[in-house]
């Protein structure tokens, strides 16, 4: 069986029928449940077989020394790595003293289904033990979107062929092994058994384990209880340092079932006392227990119904794409729903990839989507950035810069990257955070947030740009020696993306300071400083190659030698694994959208002709060795009228995880790429742009998509957009009229009064851009609907 | 007592009278004896007190893993570090069973003198033990310049106040502790006890220890014997795994002496059998023993007499400078005299600094001096580079480049640098090696060497440049993304030094291929390839800032922000220890001569006006955080007529180690900086240049120097140059006439017929260039002669 076969097609779920040994880690990632605070990978109840066990609490990590062959000033001494918190998902089963293990006996049926509307992972198994006893197992688990600390499992085992004695061992297991992250024992050692047992408590139906990480000193409490209903099962509770076990036994006649609910609570804190942690986690379990499985499930469904009522993107004519788009949105929601003071790691809470670190892609690819589909979550991610400002100011000071410099990769806010050309030098992260904040305030109308955290964040990042910038003899403002989004180019002058984002940052700071003069004064901003930001923003230089008539990704970029794409074999991608940075950096080869991302993020700075020309130019150079590229390419391809190409990029973004296109989701999903699916659909095909003149749309479809419908937030109101082949219907839900532009034409929308506007004919976009040999997107959906 | 006080002034030695506890490591470095194959630091005979014990064999090292926080393609897996070979210098002494230790009892006298004409380190001690017994100790040691494997100690102890029983324990000690080189146990662990005992043998007067390095598998044999003359001392020999001991006892009446000679032999090999190693080392000891102390000393003096007869640089009016210049030449000679198949580590064999690695400075700063003063040594260093060509070709191939890419830092020829922006990217090393070869052939007339190794070396390095280069639309040849000599700038396009050296490399390869067409064919060179080198060389682009009228260190360099020198505190130098590379790289701040080094190495490419302008410009930016800078600055300062400034830079180069100006010679001397002293004198004040028109001079003196005399090799002949205030006397020793230019005037010199030419008046050089705040050279000698 092909381990890369697709998941079962369905509009509101992804499922996998029949067991395959291959690619289990991939399914664990896809089937991961999370609420942004707590994550459980899609492992089997009985714990084995397992590829990558994973139970995470957002913010729980261990520290480790950072090894350098040659140390340098400003290199972080200490790294951070996500760890597994004690795993409460495990329910092992004995059948007449034979362990239930799908690798033994005969597996008649095995299904797992992740349901986007119930927010549950449902599993159904029929199994005959080597001894011949048969059972039917149905389990369903959820990580609650309404009770952030709570996960629950509904577990039911039924005797099929004849009577069986069943014993369920429902565990919390601490210090599960994780995949090794580094060959250096100094790094790996502290991560192998990171949790020290602090205390343990048994109750009549469960237990609580208290642990503390050895290096980072984080307290972790995991507690469980079991609801056995009114059956006559026997229950025994035991605890040891790294194990709490509730043993539930029952004798089942043929057709009889043992059924129980396991409620697991999770808490962590770096500052709370052990007693407080215990109280909190046991209170969470009690609250979950009070609701019971049905109550938790009902709340889960209600939460998701509300979410989908605005966030859903309906796609006609492309069922696989429809499924992928909902999967993407569901996982983006899961990564963030209950962040409360945290942000979104690159892999969410679906696996240990990137050591659980948070990067710029949270701010640039996820938060802007959340601002529309789950604004409370976006707000929390922005609050987390703001909460790291002290670390960011300290980092800036350590680098002898002004303002604040956010960590490139981190869990707790402190820099944890060991390769500065692709981290410290990538200062654009600071403008990315600022842009996410400005966009969020615009989308949600949350001026309270702007006052509370926005002014300070914009002021400090603006100050960083002033410290980083350089004036030329002609009054131009430059930013030298930085790294843009494209990780195959580094330490360059005037990266266009960075400069344009810095410009937005400076203007955003000036605007915010003028809107909230009292807050600005609180951060010692005076008029002269605001003027200096405005002046620098107006003077920002964007490199342009007049001879070739195209914008430069960075100064001199288009002069450099072109990568030898013809001489590069398919097996030599990703290039970074087969070529030295030295050679990648000095040639024209683009890992991921950079200038093209600038075309999206700073669209008002490029004419349509410049956009088309730049897109065509950089398409020839972009190899998409990063999952962050396809969505931006989809957006710009759609804008310049290459709709088939846009569809291919959209499809790639949408299937990158579901079809594991990059063969790299064993350690978690690409949350930012999944966020990019919404962006490709709404900004790309919907043509949604915001600029000084307000909101505008240029909606167009591409085969096989015959319809596209979505909702967005505008200043707290909801605008629904339904695109068909020849027209678009705009419906405003809210109180006040809204002016938009449809293909440049200004239209005033009245609440409750939908307007249907026709789509103008598509101007000939010219020949389709070409990509490097072998790096064109797959034409998965272009030829027509799948299935 | 000031530990930074100067050594005793003398024309042909450096000495230190009276013991000071401080700065012992510094004296151990200054007093190091070496012949390029074998090095002994200037430790005390009795082993304690000791700062950094050090006995080295050029090429003996241990491997260790290289730790990276984030690994990358092309990063070396394995590092290399020099280790201490078994130490045969130790002679401990007991006086009536009290250990002789200068920290106890009463030290009446303590002197150490390194003599440049005998090549010995002589020590004289008068000491009274706590018990009241007094002794007089005279020891003298040498590392033979004529017997590469042999060191010898003449040891004499005399009873002063009354009779004493003396016991000398003369040892070979293996696995002495070295200073820790890295905080990572993976790196440090293998270096702590690198030697595994293989075998040991005792004789009646000594012993042999055989060891093998655990990781690199290098066999090391150290053997000793003792010549006791016809005294009636008792002798006992013992050996254990890491210790061989010869115990020599005698009862001395007042005024009587125990006197003996210790001969120590050293051999190493990665391929020889243990038996062969033993044979060789014992044969070396036997040969040394046959000569005895007097014979070894006589050969040493004869060798040095021959050396100084050509190499000596006489300086009138500046005795401290005279001493420093001879010290520099002596240490340069010591680093290289008996290289035989090896090259010169950054610290020579005087300490464990830079882990014993060989860098480009050997080729650019030391070999060109050796070509004049010790051409056999220069030839060996070039042969070593050639011997690493297979590794260099493999490295180039691994980097997907053509030709050969020499290791940036290495002991065995394989790349051992863990930070590629300052190593792999510094491709200029390849042209530096090529330039050293071309210059050597020109100076020595050794066309045999050119045939034997030169053609291949030039061909392979030329191919590297062709692979690295890029053609622009106008037919210009560029080299992008490299790092030049200045380590405060990295990964730039068109580093002028690199481009100019590559140009020379390409031309040198084309010339050599035309001179030796059969050899060129052996490396598959055809006419088209030679034409392509010539074409690229002629098309090399050197960046010039037309607006500021000055050459750029690299493309765009002069546009960058200037470092905030005014805001930088004296304690913040060296900058790399206090500022991130990120900020250093993107600003105008120069660690070490780069464009200024190009002014020296490619002088024919700059007009006098361009040279003066560039020197003035880069003086404002150069902080000299590298020891490699002052000599080049001295050369160009002299050329442009700023003779006082040239004198200051010369003085800095000359005293950088003797006065420990950088407080960093505990782990060894700066051999390349010491080589630069000769360069500053002969190329700077002598104004010696070579170009297509032949050899030329523009000799001028600066206060306090009232005369300068030196000899150089020209095609195997000797040209002696004696500069006085108003004229220069040229004397040719050889067979054929030589045409030179003196201040542009062509003169034909006849052998045996000295010519005296007057010095034209110095044109006004304009205002003296300025340096960054606090970074001007000290005006040590400018005010007049010292003493």
The backbone region for A11, taken as left when phi is positive above 0, alpha when psi lies in -120 to 50, beta otherwise, is: alpha
* A587 and chain B in contact, CB less than 8 A: yes
Cβ-nearest to B493 among A75, A473, A556 = A556
Provide the 3-class DSSP secondary structure of residue A521. helix
Cβ-nearest to B556 among A69, A421, A555 = A555
Cβ-nearest to A425 among B424, B579, B582 = B582
| Count of pairs with CB atoms under 8 A, one residue in A, one in B | 147
- Window A:175-214, CB contacts with B under 8 Å: 184-186
Residue A235 pairs in a beta bridge with: A248
Instruction: Give the largest CA-CA distance in chain A.
Output: 90
For residues B649-664, one letter each, b for 16 or more C-beta atoms within 10 angstroms of the residue's C-beta and e for the rest, the string is bbbbbbbbbbbbbbeb
Residue A57 CA to residue A51 CA, distance in Å, equals 19
Angle between helices A375-387 and A428-444 (to 10 degrees): 140
Q: Is the pLDDT of residue A5 over 80?
A: no
Residue B452 token pair: 């034997």
CB atoms within 10 A of CB A106: 12
Give A400→chain B minimum CA distance, Å. Answer: 7
Residue B68's closest chain A neighbor by CA?
A: A68
- Top residue of A77, A481, A482 to mutate, by most chain B CBs within 10 Å, is A481
Residue A397's closest chain B neighbor by CA?
A: B579
Could you list the active site residues of A?
487
- Window B:50-69, CB contacts with A under 8 Å: 65-69
Provide the 3-class DSSP secondary structure of residue A466. helix
Which are the contacts of A183, defined by CB distance < 8 A and separation ≥ 6? none
HEC sequence for A594-645: CHHHHHHHCHHHCCHHHHHHHHHHHHCCECCCCCCCHHHHHHHHHHCCCHHH
Provide the 3-class DSSP secondary structure of residue A562. strand
Handedness of CA A358, A360, A361, A366 (dihedral sign): positive
Residue B755 CA to residue B573 CA, distance in Å, equals 48
* B662 and chain A in contact, CB less than 8 A: no
Contact status, residue A650 vs residue A637, Cβ threshold 8 Å: no
Residue B416's closest chain A neighbor by CA?
A: A69
- Window B:282-301, CB contacts with A under 8 Å: none
How high is the pLDDT of residue B204? 84
Residue B70 token pair: 């984030």
How buried is B474 (Cβ within 10 angstroms: 0-12 exposed, 13-18 middle, 19+ buried)? exposed
CB atoms within 10 A of CB B589: 25
* B523 and chain A in contact, CB less than 8 A: no
Residue B599 CA to residue B610 CA, distance in Å, equals 9
* A555 and chain B in contact, CB less than 8 A: yes
Q: Which of B46, B380, B415, B487 is catalytic?
A: B487
Q: What is the mean pLDDT of residues A150-176?
A: 96
DSSP string, B488-504: TS-SBS--HHHHHHHHH
Give B361→chain A minimum CA distance, Å. Answer: 19
Strands of B204-242, DSSP E: 206-213, 219-227, 234-240
How high is the pLDDT of residue A22? 86
Residue B525 CA to residue B518 CA, distance in Å, equals 9
How high is the pLDDT of residue B180? 78
Contact B74 A556 (CB under 8 A): no
- Give the N- to C-terminal CA distance of chain A in Å, as an integer: 19
How high is the pLDDT of residue A783? 45
Question: Which residues of chain A have a CB within 8 Å of the CB of B65?
Answer: 184
Which are the contacts of B754, defined by CB distance < 8 A and separation ≥ 6? B729, B730, B731, B732
Contact B420 A582 (CB under 8 A): yes
Residue A395 token pair: 């980092």
DSSP string, A141-175: EEE-SSSTTEEEEEEEEEE-SS-EEEEEEEEEE-S
* B561 and chain A in contact, CB less than 8 A: yes
Give me the percent of chain A exceeding a pLDDT of 90: 92
How high is the pLDDT of residue B37? 97
Cβ-nearest to A585 among B69, B491, B581 = B491
CB atoms within 10 A of CB B353: 23
> Which of B778 and A754 is assigned the larger pLDDT?
A754
* A74 and chain B in contact, CB less than 8 A: yes
Cα angle A90, A666, A411; round to 5:
80
- Window B:406-435, CB contacts with A under 8 Å: 417-421, 424-425
Cα angle A77, A80, A83; round to 5:
150
Question: Which residues of chain B have a CB within 8 Å of the CB of A480?
Answer: 560-561, 586-587
Contact A67 B186 (CB under 8 A): yes
pTM recorded for the entire structure: 0.95
* A580 and chain B in contact, CB less than 8 A: yes
* A554 and chain B in contact, CB less than 8 A: no
DSSP string, A677-736: HHHIIIIIIS--EEETTEEEE-----TT--EEEEEEEETTEEEEEEE-SSEEEEEEESSS
- Give the N- to C-terminal CA distance of chain B in Å, as an integer: 19
* A578 and chain B in contact, CB less than 8 A: yes
> Which of A118 and B180 is assigned the larger pLDDT?
A118
Residue A138 CA to residue B590 CA, distance in Å, equals 70
Q: Which helix (H) or strand (E) holds A652?
A: helix A643-655
Give A383→chain B minimum CA distance, Å. Answer: 29
pLDDT mean values, one per 10 residues, chain B (787 residues): 71 93 93 98 96 96 94 95 97 94 96 98 97 96 98 97 95 88 82 94 94 97 94 89 96 96 97 96 97 98 97 97 98 97 97 96 98 96 98 98 98 96 97 97 94 98 98 97 98 98 98 97 98 98 97 98 97 97 98 98 97 98 96 98 97 93 93 98 97 92 97 91 97 95 97 97 95 88 44
Question: Which residues of chain A have a CB within 8 Å of the CB of B81?
Answer: none
Contact A73 B581 (CB under 8 A): yes
Residue B184's closest chain A neighbor by CA?
A: A67
Q: Is the pLDDT of residue A297 over 50?
A: yes
Residue A69 token pair: 């062959």
CB atoms within 10 A of CB B232: 7
Cβ-nearest to A579 among B73, B75, B417 = B73
Question: Which residues of chain B have a CB within 8 Å of the CB of A74?
Answer: 580-582
Q: Is the pLDDT of residue A752 over 50?
A: yes
Residue A323 CA to residue A330 CA, distance in Å, equals 10
- Top residue of A64, A65, A69 to mutate, by most chain B CBs within 10 Å, is A69
- Top residue of B63, B64, B65, B67 to mutate, by most chain A CBs within 10 Å, is B67
């Amino acid at each position: 069986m092909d381990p890369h076969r697709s998941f079962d097609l369905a509009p509101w779920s992804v499922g996998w029928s029949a067991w395959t040994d291959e690619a289990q880690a991939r399914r664990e990632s896809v089937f991961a449940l999370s609420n942004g605070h707590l994550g459980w990978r899609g492992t089997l109840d009985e714990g084995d077989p397992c590829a990558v066990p994973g139970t995470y609490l957002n913010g729980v990590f261990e520290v480790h020394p950072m090894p350098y062959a040659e140390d340098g000033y400003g290199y972080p001494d200490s790294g951070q790595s996500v760890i597994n918190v004690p795993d409460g998902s495990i329910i092992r089963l004995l059948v007449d003293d034979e362990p239930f293990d799908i690798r033994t006996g005969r597996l008649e049926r095995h299904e797992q289904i992740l349901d986007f509307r119930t927010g549950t992972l449902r599993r159904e198994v029929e199994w005959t033990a080597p001894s011949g006893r048969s059972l039917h197992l149905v389990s369903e688990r959820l990580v609650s979107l309404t009770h952030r600390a709570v996960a629950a499992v509904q577990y039911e085992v039924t005797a099929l062929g004849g009577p069986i004695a069943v014993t369920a061992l429902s565990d919390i297991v601490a210090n599960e092994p994780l995949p090794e992250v580094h060959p250096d024992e100094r790094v790996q050692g502290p991560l192998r058994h990171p949790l020290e047992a602090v205390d343990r408590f048994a109750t009549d139906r469960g237990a609580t384990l208290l642990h503390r990480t050895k290096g980072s000193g984080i307290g972790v409490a995991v507690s469980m209880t079991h609801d056995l209903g009114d059956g006559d099962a026997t229950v025994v509770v035991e605890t040891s340092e790294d194990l709490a076990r509730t043993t539930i036994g029952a004798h089942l006649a043929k057709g009889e079932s043992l059924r129980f609910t396991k409620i697991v609570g999770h808490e962590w804190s770096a500052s709370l006392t052990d007693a407080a942690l215990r109280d909190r986690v046991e209170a969470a379990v009690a609250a979950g227990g009070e609701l019971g499985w049905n109550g938790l499930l009902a709340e889960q469904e209600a939460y998701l119904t509300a979410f989908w009522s605005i966030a859903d993107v309906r796609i006609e004519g492309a069922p696989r794409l429809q499924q992928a788009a909902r999967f993407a949105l569901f996982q983006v929601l899961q990564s963030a729903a209950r962040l409360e003071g945290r942000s979104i790691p690159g892999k969410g809470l679906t696996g240990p990839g990137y050591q659980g670190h948070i990067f710029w892609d949270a701010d640039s690819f996820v938060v802007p989507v959340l601002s529309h589909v789950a604004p409370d979550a976006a707000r929390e991610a922005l609050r987390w950035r703001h909460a790291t400002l002290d670390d960011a100011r300290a980092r800036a000071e350590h680098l002898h810069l002004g303002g604040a410099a956010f960590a490139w990769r981190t869990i707790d806010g402190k820099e944890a990257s060991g390769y500065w050309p692709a981290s410290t030098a990538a200062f654009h992260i600071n403008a990315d955070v600022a842009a996410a904040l400005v966009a969020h305030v615009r989308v949600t109308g949350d001026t309270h947030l702007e006052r509370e955290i926005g002014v300070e964040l914009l002021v400090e990042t603006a100050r960083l740009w002033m410290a980083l910038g350089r004036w030329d003899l002609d009054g131009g403002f430059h930013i030298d020696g930085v790294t843009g989004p494209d990780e195959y180019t580094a330490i360059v002058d005037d990266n266009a993306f960075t400069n344009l984002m810095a410009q937005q940052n400076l203007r955003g700071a000036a605007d915010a300071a003028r809107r909230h003069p009292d807050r600005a004064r609180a951060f010692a901003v005076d008029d002269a400083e605001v003027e200096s930001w405005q002046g620098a923003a107006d003077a920002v230089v964007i490199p342009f190659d007049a001879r070739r008539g195209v914008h430069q990704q960075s100064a001199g970029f288009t002069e450099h030698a072109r990568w030898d794409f013809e001489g590069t074999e398919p097996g030599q991608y990703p290039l970074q694994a087969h070529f030295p940075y030295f050679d990648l950096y000095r040639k024209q080869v683009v890992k991921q959208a950079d200038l093209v991302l600038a075309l999206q993020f700073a669209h008002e700075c490029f004419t349509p002709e410049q956009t088309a020309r730049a897109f065509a130019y950089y398409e020839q150079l972009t190899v998409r060795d990063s999952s962050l590229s396809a969505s931006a390419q989809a957006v710009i391809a759609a804008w310049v009228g290459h709709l088939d190409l846009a569809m291919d990029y959209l499809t790639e973004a949408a299937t990158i995880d579901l079809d594991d296109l990059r063969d790299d989701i064993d350690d978690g999903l690409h949350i930012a790429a999944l966020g990019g699916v919404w962006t490709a659909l709404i900004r790309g095909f919907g043509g949604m742009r915001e600029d000084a003149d307000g909101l505008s749309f240029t909606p167009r479809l591409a085969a096989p998509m015959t319809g596209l419908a979505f909702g967005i937030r505008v200043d707290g109101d909801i605008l629904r957009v339904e695109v068909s082949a020849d027209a678009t219907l705009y419906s405003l839900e809210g109180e006040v009229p809204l002016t938009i532009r449809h293909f440049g034409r200004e239209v005033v929308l009245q609440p409750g009064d939908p307007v249907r506007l026709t789509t103008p004919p598509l101007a000939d976009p010219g020949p389709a851009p070409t990509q490097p040999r072998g790096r064109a997107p797959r034409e998965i959906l272009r030829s027509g609907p799948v299935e």
